[in-house]
Amino acid sequence: MNAELFLTDLEGKTAALAGLAAALESRGNPFASLPRSVRRVVFLGMGSSRYAAAVAALRLRSAGIDAVAEYASAAIGHPAGPDTLIVAISAGGNSVETVDALSRHAGRSPIVVITNRTGSRAAGLADSVIPMLAGEEAGGVACRTFQHTGLLLLALEARLTGRPTDVAGMCRRVAAATADLLDRRPLWLPASAHLLDGPDGVYTIAPVERSSSAEQAALMLREGPRRRADACETGDWAHVDVYLTRSIDYRAVLFAGSRYDDQAMGWLRSRGSVVVAVGADVPGAALSVRYRGDDDPMVALLTETLVVELVAATWWRAPA
């Protein structure tokens, strides 16, 4: 893992997204060969892969499709069978937990593997391999692959639901939003890094429909600069994390858009907590970071983690 190369990977997001958009435009939906009628979809993955899968499974369930995101490390889970579509996500394709889980399903369930390494062990167990096309992440941190995973899962959703979705167009909208955040870094990044730099860590908060943003953001702070960080769903925050605001120097990133933002902010304001809001002008926040297209929940889902990724890169590169 390398801090300088991690920043380079983040700065390369826009170009990588353009490449994915071009591939989708020229080749069509990569999941086009899948049947639309499957009894259930089981996503398998660990870490960032599972975060993205959990949101995709929620979206499929909202369309009436039986879908679940499981830890690949689980000893129990949905049984294998020809009517269960297994969708495994692994950027490197060699996660031991994911490979073990696929081994239990190989030859018994149809398997799709979404990976950045098409020659990996996981890919070798698949009936269909979907390349992430994120390029090499030289910094050793899954950042571009996380973003590309979300877009490819949108393509999977379009195939299984039959909803007309311009995924290539969404790639370009996300690329524009990403470029906007990168280009305007001097206006928001130094202040964000300063406001969130407290003695008791950072707490990331997002609506359940974008829970992956909070999970991924917290992981970036742990994985790169090795800072204490944890994630929470916005509505659940008032039931599980509010207690911390009374006893520690609570500093939070609020990925805005939940109907329960005001509930959380009421507590955060009353207890003097420091909040950096992302994606909306939030009353009581010390800073609100806006970007192009942030009023579209799907653009937000696929873009907003960059704010914390860049904070992580800033802290990681700082002299010890």
The answer to whether 101 and 88 have CB atoms below 8 angstroms apart is: yes
Interval 121-138 mean pLDDT: 96
CA 41 distance to own-chain centroid: 19
Q: What are phi and psi of 42, to 5 degrees?
A: -115, 115
Task: Give the pLDDT confidence of 259-308 residue by residue, as tens digits.
Answer: 999 999 999 999 999 999 999 999 999 999 999 999 999 999 999 999 99
pLDDT-based confidence at 247, cuts 50/70/90? very high
pTM of the predicted protein model: 0.96
Per-residue pLDDT reduced to its tens digit, 162-197: 988 999 999 999 999 999 999 999 999 999 999 999
Question: What Cα–Cα distance (Å) separates residue 272 from each residue in 7, 198, 247, 255, 264?
Answer: 32, 13, 11, 19, 12
pLDDT at 36: 75
Q: Which domains does the chain have, with CATH numbers?
A: 3-173 (3.40.50.10490), 185-317 (3.40.50.10490)
Taking only the tens place, the pLDDT of each residue in 97-121 is 999 999 999 999 999 999 999 999 9
pLDDT for residue 197: 98
- C-beta separation of 277 from 287 below 8 A: yes
The phi, psi pair for 164, rounded to 5°, reads -70, 120
Q: Which two tokens stand for residue 208?
A: 């359940």
Q: What percent of the chain has pLDDT over 90?
A: 95
**Per the structure block, which two tokens stand in for 290?**
């806006």
- Would you say residue 320 has pLDDT above 70? no
Backbone angle region of 24, left / alpha / beta, with phi > 0 → left and psi within -120 to 50 → alpha? alpha
Q: Which residues contact 235 (CB under 8 A, 6 or more apart)?
A: 207, 208, 258, 259, 260, 263
**What residues form DSSP beta bridges with 33?**
none
